[in-house]
Amino acid sequence: MKEAIVVGAGVVGLTTALTLQSAGFNVRIISKESVSNTNSSRAGAIWFPYRCGEQAQANAWAMEGYAEFEKMASSNRTGVSMVSFLVLERLVKHDMPYWLGGVPKKAIRLAEKNELPATYQRGHFIAVPLIESPVYLPFLKEVFEANGGQIEIEEVLSLHELARESRWVINCSGLGARWLCQDKSVYPVGGQTVRVGVMPGVQALVDEQDDSLSYIIPRRDGIILGGTVEENSIPTMPNMDVTRKILQRCHHLQPLLGKAKILDAQVSVRPYRPTVRVEQEPGIRLIHNYGHGGAGFTLSWGTAFDVLRLVKQAG
Ligand SMILES: Cc1cc2nc3c(=O)[nH]c(=O)nc-3n(C[C@H](O)[C@H](O)[C@H](O)COP(=O)(O)OP(=O)(O)OC[C@H]3O[C@@H](n4cnc5c(N)ncnc54)[C@H](O)[C@@H]3O)c2cc1C
């Protein structure tokens, strides 16, 4: 049987592992952290190609993801559902916002003026996949294991040592690639979120023109409020002052949130790279798949399919 090792058990590693399994590979994941301790486990997450390198390429990957998530939304156990997401613009800078390139036309509606919070010039409602990470990642893990996959918790020190003649190694180590591949172009962009209690009638939305990136994502375990964009930073603990500011900003966007009860706050990291790296290392059965920035969920299926294309091309 064809063999592969995937390094990393975040959303990118799990998706890549499942894609290889579906092509007949016997797959083992090696990861420093368990699935529930990865950065991916602390993300929102919603389909949105935010901070993820070159836009045309990101949109193409995002579209592949959109189609895959849309299929998964038909089952409740995946943690994926289609929701209405309002993308706000304070200032209209372009005819069309860049991310619309990755969305099917039928999923987009221009918001009426009276549907926008004060001080916003334009908004689009788009039907997008909501990917509830506390349900989705365990679901992927369960399917991977049911297909015979195994996860080993161990730190990999050399990718070249793992790659043998007949076996593929796929590097999905996220920010870990900064040290594992000595790739200093991938760097941390920290983020904090606050989770408040579920309440009806709250609209999912984002304002990415805000320096701090404001967003509201209603999930079944609470409403995720964000956020922060901390360049070159790996936050280790939520900051109370930041929590207050996030609440203030989100309250301005959705007055309903004035009554919200805080449940907890989280910090995590986006593995940002000017371009997401999906390529084979010359002369060796090693493929890199990392640097998904603020859109690892959004791009995960698209980049995993590219990994499989590279494996097939190599024969
Ligand atoms: C606050 C916040 C909100 C976000 N919201 C969204 C959103 O709404 N939509 C969206 O699409 N994206 C979102 N993102 C971005 C998304 O979370 C990331 O792009 C994604 O989690 C990256 O996944 P990954 O698998 O590459 O990395 P990770 O989840 O960090 O996984 C990396 C894996 O590699 C392993 N590893 C690293 N080094 C080694 C080593 N040497 N040996 C063995 N294992 C190793 C780690 O243990 C881990 O298992 C958000 C990010 C943040 C911070």
Beta bridge partners of residue 187, listed in sequence order: 272
Chain mean pLDDT for the chain: 94
CA of 258 to the centre of ligand 1 (A): 31
Band of residue 292 on the pLDDT scale cut at 50, 70, 90? very high
pLDDT of 165 strictly over 70: no
pLDDT at 315 over 70: yes
pLDDT surpassing 90 at residue 137:
yes
Ligand 1 proximal residues by C-beta, below 6 Å: 7-13, 30-33, 38-40, 43-46, 48, 155-156, 172-176, 180, 191, 193, 226-227, 268-271, 290, 292-298
Give the pLDDT confidence score for residue 135 in this predicted structure.
Answer: 97
The residue contributing the CA closest to ligand 1 atom 25 is 10
Residue 198 pLDDT greater than 80, yes or no: yes
Pocket test residue of 103, 268, 270, 286 for ligand 1, highest count of atoms within 8 A of CB: 270
pLDDT higher than threshold 80 for residue 166: no
Most confident among 156-165, 254-263, 301-310 (mean pLDDT):
301-310
HSE-CB at 267 with a 13 A cutoff on CA atoms is 15
In whole angstroms, what is the distance from residue 34 CA to residue 9 CA? 7
Rounded distance from Cα 57 to ligand 1 centre (Å): 19
CA distance 248 to 64: 36
Q: Are 226 and 246 in contact (CB under 8 A)?
A: yes
% of the chain exceeding 90 in pLDDT? 84
Distance CA 297, CA 131 (A): 8
Distance CA 238, CA 242 (A): 8
- From CA 110, how far away is CA 84, in angstroms rounded? 12
Q: Which atom of ligand 1 is nearest to the CA of 217?
A: 8
Tokens of 42: 């602390």
User: What is the rounded average pLDDT of the residues 187-201?
Assistant: 96
**Which residue did the predictor score with more confidence, 102 or 302?**
302
Residue 129 has pLDDT above 90, yes or no: yes
CA of 114 to the centre of ligand 1 (A): 37
> Residue of the nearest CA to atom 7 in ligand 1?
45
pLDDT digit string, tens, across residues 41-100: 999 899 998 888 888 899 999 999 999 999 999 999 999 999 999 999 988 877 777 777
Name the residue of 87, 297, 300 whose CB sits within 8 Å of the most ligand 1 atoms, as the mutation to test its pocket. 297
- The CATH number that domain 2-314 falls under is 3.50.50.60
- Predicted confidence (pLDDT) at residue 209 exceeds the cutoff of 90: no
Q: Is 284 helix (H, G, I), strand (E, B) or coil?
A: coil
Name the pLDDT band for 286 (thresholds 50, 70, 90): very high
pLDDT for 56 equals: 86
Give the least confident one: 34-38, 164-168, 224-228, 268-272: 164-168
Nearest-atom number in ligand 1 for the CA of 191 is: 1
Domain ranges of the chain: 2-314
Q: Whose CA is nearest to atom 27 of ligand 1?
A: 174
197 vs 147: CA distance, rounded Å: 36
- pLDDT-based confidence at 105, cuts 50/70/90? confident
Confidence band (pLDDT; 50, 70, 90) for 243? very high
pLDDT in tens, 147-157: 999 999 999 99
